[in-house]
Amino acid sequence: MASYYELKNAPEPISLDVFLDELDKLGDSIFSKEHFDKTLHLLQRLYANREFLLDVVKNYLENPDSQNINHYTSQVFILAERENYTIRAPVWIPDGELVSSRVFAYGLAHDHNFDLLTIGYLGTGYTTYMYSYDADAVTGFKGEDVKLSDCSTFKLTQGSALFMKGNHDIHVQLPPNELSISLNILKSSGSSTKQFEFDIENQKIIRPIRNEIGKSILELSGYFFNDETEGRLKTFSKATGLINFNQRNEGNLLK
């Protein structure tokens, strides 16, 4: 089950550069038993710096290209990408304002394919329902039964932290009451290729979650059928559930 940490004492603030330098010293072991407490303390010290994120926003306004490395959804700022981890600052907006809840995955029961440590930085924070499952006990196909743990509820208030283990913890996130920002450490090294959306009530896998670029590529591929590729496209389509290739696109360019 996910672990929740309250901030008991105000730590000494550190700059983003110092934070990154200290994390780099831990290598691939930022979330190991030996180093987890230090990683958490470093994130709490970065949280205590109430000005650094404003500098990030100012830099983006002056240099929009600074977020060219960002391959996440539109509400996420990338603060750093390293060999073993990524630092993000997601912005959470109350439901119904500016964008749909789907962009923020509100109400979507899902796991992650990486370990994640997050801390509430600004605002009242979101509430999340947490479950866990045994990834080794499932194959990952649509409609598969999955045994879930009992539900726990956490609210990511300012200074509180939450650790979620990849392919183990499932969360259903609810929108905050006011604009909120969190800081994330994602352990990119050692991440898996599995991620799922779940039906909590019926305890089933709804679907594997895959990079949305796959859908775009398959849609484009539908225009380039030939005898060599058609079988492969149909097989891949059935495996992913992204596109129905029973009918070719009318604009097939290789006819």
pLDDT of the residue at 116: 95
CA distance 56 to 61: 9
pLDDT of the residue at 74: 56
pLDDT of the residue at 236: 60
CA distance 24 to 81: 11
3-208: CATH number: 2.60.120.10
Question: Tell me: the pLDDT tens digits for 61-73?
Answer: 776 665 555 555 5
| Low-confidence winner among 96-100, 154-158, 195-199, 228-232 (lowest mean pLDDT) | 96-100
Widest distance between CA atoms in the chain: 69
Length of the chain: 255
Question: Tell me: the pLDDT tens digits for 197-240?
Answer: 999 999 999 998 865 444 445 544 554 556 666 666 666 666 55
Query: What DSSP state is assigned to residue 67?
Result: G
| Low-confidence winner among 29-38, 72-81, 207-216 (lowest mean pLDDT) | 207-216
| Edge-to-edge strand list for the sheet holding 169-174 | 152-155, 127-132, 169-174
Q: Is the dihedral of CA 11, 48, 185, 21 positive or negative?
A: negative
In the predicted model, what is the mean pLDDT of residues 5-10? 92
In the predicted model, what is the mean pLDDT of residues 182-207? 91
pTM to 2 decimal places: 0.78
Domain ranges in the chain are 3-208, 211-255
186 touches 84 (CB < 8 A): no
Question: Which band of pLDDT confidence, cut at 50, 70 and 90, is reported for residue 11?
Answer: very high
pLDDT of the residue at 37: 97
pLDDT of the residue at 106: 86
pLDDT of the residue at 38: 97
CA distance 129 to 150: 10
Q: Per DSSP, which regions of 64-203 are E strands?
A: 76-81, 85-92, 115-122, 127-132, 152-155, 161-164, 169-174, 180-187, 196-199
Computed over every residue of the chain, the mean pLDDT equals: 82
pLDDT of the residue at 186: 95
Question: Which band of pLDDT confidence, cut at 50, 70 and 90, is reported for residue 56?
Answer: confident
Share of the chain above pLDDT 90, in %: 58
pLDDT of the residue at 255: 36
pLDDT of the residue at 252: 39
Q: Above 50 in pLDDT, residue 167?
A: yes
Query: What DSSP state is assigned to residue 42?
Result: H
pLDDT of the residue at 194: 87
CA distance 207 to 189: 24
Question: Which band of pLDDT confidence, cut at 50, 70 and 90, is reported for residue 244?
Answer: very low
Q: Above 90 in pLDDT, residue 55?
A: no
235 touches 150 (CB < 8 A): no
How distant, in Å, are the alpha carbons of 51, 62, 183 from that of 54? 5, 12, 13
